[in-house]
Amino acid sequence: MITLGIEGTAHTLGVGITDEKCNVLANVIEMYRPPEGGLHPREAANHHTDIVASTISKALTDAKLSLKDIDVISFSKGPGLGPCLRVAATAARALSVRLNIPIIGVNHCVAHVEIGNATTGCTDPVLLYASGGNTQIIAFANGRYRIFGETLDVGIGNMLDKLGRELDLGYYAGPTIEKLAKEGTELLDLPYSVKGMDIAFSGIMTSAVALKKKGHRLEDIAFSVQETCFAMLAEVTERAMAHVGKSEVLMGGGVAQNKRLRGMIETMAKERDAKMFVPLPRLCIDNGAMIAWLGHIMYDSGVRMTIDDTKVEQRFRTDEVNVTWR
Ligand code: FE2
């Protein structure tokens, strides 16, 4: 069974194709980069609209398949930015109706977990999902994927991008901040913002910008921001693992590419006899293959949707998903 999945929750329009064994036959990722300033949902959606047809064609070419080979269409139903979600949903509906094949709308966060389960060898992890728009700690408990901790304001990637703009480091500044942080030597004082199992980042950003105005080196600011924020993530991830009694931690999202964050999570995992898993980079960031794969396992477990069921949900919560496949 071949599934074509369309991702479109935020800056990335992705089209992936998987088979029933989670072989990734294609995984085309097209990321919108704003010419200046931050991500505007409408402009990102216009980007997705312009390229969605050609991206589907490219994925089919990469997979050496044609549309008639596709058995199921899936798409990211949420959570995400409304205009972007609607592009992916509209393209998926059009294909489903035109080809007369089933359509499945999937939860983007659960897709990060399931592609990790299928491709890294973990079986029942706590997911640390750290991306631009989302920062959540997710685990399967009592029949559902549940959120055990999350950001109370912005996603960590979003905060790093905003900080990058304030410090003139350009957009999608995470990799630049990671590079600068390697040269940092002084741990500067920043608010350590863990509230119960939740975390907050915007106060850290405000404080980091103030440190720049006081004349501190960019390297030390980047180092201090990483050390503080990643320690917060490691703390809540560890407490979630202890609470649900799991010995695997899975990384997901664009910020999971950061080697310092991985290093901290790996150390934490080792100290509690647990194991860390990280999907391949192109399956860790937002991508269509994970959407295709979750669409496949949902369909395979008996889930069916009509076109009326495919309305996008900007605030689609992880624990709203009825997990029929475990
Ligand atoms: Fe994501």
In this predicted model, what pLDDT tens digit does every residue of 203-226 receive, in sequence order? 999 999 999 999 999 999 999 999
- If one compares 35 and 19, the residue with the highest pLDDT of the two is 19
CATH architecture of 3-112+283-320: 2-Layer Sandwich (3.30)
Is residue 38 predicted with pLDDT exceeding 90?
A: no
Distance 108 CA to ligand 1 centre (A): 6
Distance 220 CA to ligand 1 centre (A): 29
Is residue 167 predicted with pLDDT exceeding 80?
A: yes
Residues 104-157 have pLDDT tens digits of 999 999 999 999 999 999 999 999 999 999 999 999 999 999 999 999 999 999
Position 232 scores a pLDDT of 98
CATH architecture of 124-279: 2-Layer Sandwich (3.30)
Spatial CA neighbour of 154 closest among 255, 32, 13: 255
Question: What one-letter code names the amino acid at 301?
Answer: S
pTM attached to this predicted model? 0.96
Question: What one-letter code names the amino acid at 89?
Answer: A
Position 39 scores a pLDDT of 85
Q: Write down the mean pLDDT value for the chain.
A: 97
23-32 average pLDDT score: 97
User: 219: burial class by Cβ within 10 Å (0-12, 13-18, 19+)?
Assistant: middle
Distance 82 CA to ligand 1 centre (A): 15
271-279 average pLDDT score: 98
Local confidence band at 37 (pLDDT 50, 70, 90 cut-offs): confident
Position 116 scores a pLDDT of 96
What ranges do the domains of the chain cover? 3-112+283-320, 124-279
Distance 24 CA to ligand 1 centre (A): 18
Distance 186 CA to ligand 1 centre (A): 32
Is residue 36 predicted with pLDDT exceeding 90?
A: no
Bond preceding residue 102 cis, omega within 30 of 0: no
Pair 285, 109: CB distance under 8 Å: no
Distance 189 CA to ligand 1 centre (A): 30
**CA angle (82, 162, 11) in 5-degree steps:** 35
Distance 69 CA to ligand 1 centre (A): 27
Distance 211 CA to ligand 1 centre (A): 30
241-253 average pLDDT score: 97
Distance 290 CA to ligand 1 centre (A): 10
Spatial CA neighbour of 264 closest among 118, 128, 121: 128
DSSP symbol at 243: H
Distance 136 CA to ligand 1 centre (A): 10
Distance 300 CA to ligand 1 centre (A): 23
Distance 8 CA to ligand 1 centre (A): 10
Distance 219 CA to ligand 1 centre (A): 28
Local confidence band at 172 (pLDDT 50, 70, 90 cut-offs): confident
Strands, E assignment, the chain: 3-7, 12-18, 24-31, 72-78, 103-107, 126-130, 135-141, 144-150, 194-195, 198-199, 248-252, 275-277
Is residue 277 predicted with pLDDT exceeding 80?
A: yes
Fold agreement between 3-112+283-320 and 124-279: yes
Residues 55-72 have pLDDT tens digits of 999 999 999 999 999 999
Position 204 scores a pLDDT of 97
Residues 257-273 have pLDDT tens digits of 999 999 999 999 999 99
Position 123 scores a pLDDT of 93
Residues 78-93 have pLDDT tens digits of 999 999 999 999 999 9
Distance between CA atoms of 199 and 161, rounded to whole angstroms? 18
Is residue 171 predicted with pLDDT exceeding 90?
A: no
Position 85 scores a pLDDT of 98
Distance 11 CA to ligand 1 centre (A): 10
